[in-house]
Structure 1
Amino acid sequence: MSASLSFACLPNTIPTTPSFSNPNNPRPKSPAISRARFQLNNAQLSAAIHPVQEPRADRWLHEVELSVRDYEIDQFGVVNNAVYANYCQHARHELMKACSSSDPNEIAGSGYSLATTELSIKFIAPLRGGDRFLVKNKIAEWSKTRLFIQQSIVNLPNKEPILEAKATIVWLDKNYRPMRIPPQMLAEITELCYPTSGHSN
């Protein structure tokens, strides 16, 4: 079984718009205009990208072991395709906890957000009820505003490939606008990807 899925994800919390009942307030923005706030401008898109280029660049940085739950099974007896995005998101959050001093909950508590702007999934084989599996993560590239994370799910104990995924993560400020990733986090990512090379941005 082979298929692909590509879609964009935005944070769950969207700023509220002014009310029509107050004539002094401007007209609320349309959903299309609101979504445009999440798009990177040309300067941000052209920010230098740092691919991981070192002898162990193909190594997986972090792994999360999970099990299929009964309610994740569809009428065909396999994990529903939509569930895999949740597996990948959970694993990315665990990766951020492992590789930085601020986990996603702490980031959200400070008023900032981590938004998944792109997610592509290639389905290779299905998972079934009771299966155990690993979600493997690595940071393939990063720029001043974005992280590019590669993920793989393999079945246990045979480690047969289940899917491959790629996600683009953007840091958003308190107004839900893309901003530069804090220097401390970039330094931690660099140390994680180049533990002995002394590479710097």
Structure 2
Amino acid sequence: MSFTKTYTVKDEHIDVQNIMDGLYYPFYMEWCRHDFIREVLGFDFEEQAHKGVNMVLSEYSLKFVRSLKSGDEFTVSCELFGDAKGLPRLHFKQTITCKNKVMTTGMFTGTCISAGGRPYLPESILEKIAGQPVLE
């Protein structure tokens, strides 16, 4: 399952080196990932939080390849993987590309936590991710 969104670098995200500050790359990835989770998986963060269910990240890693500059139009992709060990985790492989070049790659892992604090995935998500490739 994959998903993409297109964005434009904002001037306020540019640092003194005239490139996008590194802290904004994961924000753009988050915006794409949240849209994917809401639009494709049907999980509304605000609605679920009111019910006591929070989707949270447990880890992520980024690799910076090239820098974005002010005004660059770029695409963020989000690809979903299940967990190879069958744990209640979702893995999102994400890439930022600009002019057909990879700028940044990332891997984000998350789960849901309810009031009890134990990780799990709601049945509605499990149904939608059945048969997805797993992250090795």
What's the TM-score, normalizing by structure 1? 0.61
Q: Does 1:182 align with 2:122?
A: yes
Task: State the secondary structure of the residue aligned to 1:138.
Answer: strand
1:102 CA drift (Å): 2.2
In structure 1, distance between residues paired with 2:6 and 2:48 = 24
| Aligned equivalents of 1:109, 1:133: Cα separation in 2 | 34
Amino acid in the other structure paired with 1:112: V
Contact 2:94 2:107 in 1 (8 A): yes
What's the CA shift for 1:99?
A: 1.8
Report the equivalent of 2:95.
Answer: 152
Q: Which residue of 2 aligns with 1:96?
A: 37
> Relative to 1, partners in 2 of residues 1:152 and 1:121: Cα closer, same or farther, differing over 3 Å?
same
| Cα contact 2:58–2:109 (8 A) shared by 1 | yes
Are 1:144 and 1:181, in contact at CA under 8 Å, matched by a contact in 2?
Answer: no
Deviations 1:125-151 (A, max 9, x none): 000000111100111223442111100
Report the Cα offset of residue 98 of structure 1: 2.2
User: Quick check: 2:4–2:76 contact (8 Å CA) kept in 1?
Assistant: yes
CA RMSD for the aligned pairs?
A: 1.7
Matched length: 131
- Per-residue CA deviations over 1:39-58 (Å, capped at 9, x if unaligned) read xxxxxxxxxxxxxxxxxxxx
Q: Distance in 2 between matches of 1:105 and 1:153?
A: 26
Would you tell me which structure has more strand in proportion to its own residues? Answer: 2
> Which of 106, 125, 129 lines up with 2:66 in the alignment?
125
Give the letter for the 2:124 counterpart.
Q
2:120 alignment partner, SS class: coil
Q: Does 2:113 match 1:172?
A: yes
8 Å contact 1:140–1:148 — kept in the other structure?
A: yes
Q: Which has the larger radius of gyration?
A: 1
Match of 1:84 in 2: 25
Contact 1:145 1:178 in 2 (8 A): no
Distance in 2 (CA, whole Å) between partners of 1:66 and 1:190 is 30
Residue matched to 1:27 = none
**One-letter amino acid of the structure 2 residue matched with residue 109 of structure 1:** H
- For the residues of structure 1 that align with 2:38 and 2:130, how far apart are their CA atoms? 15
* Aligned-pair identity (%): 22
Q: CA deviation at 1:84?
A: 0.7
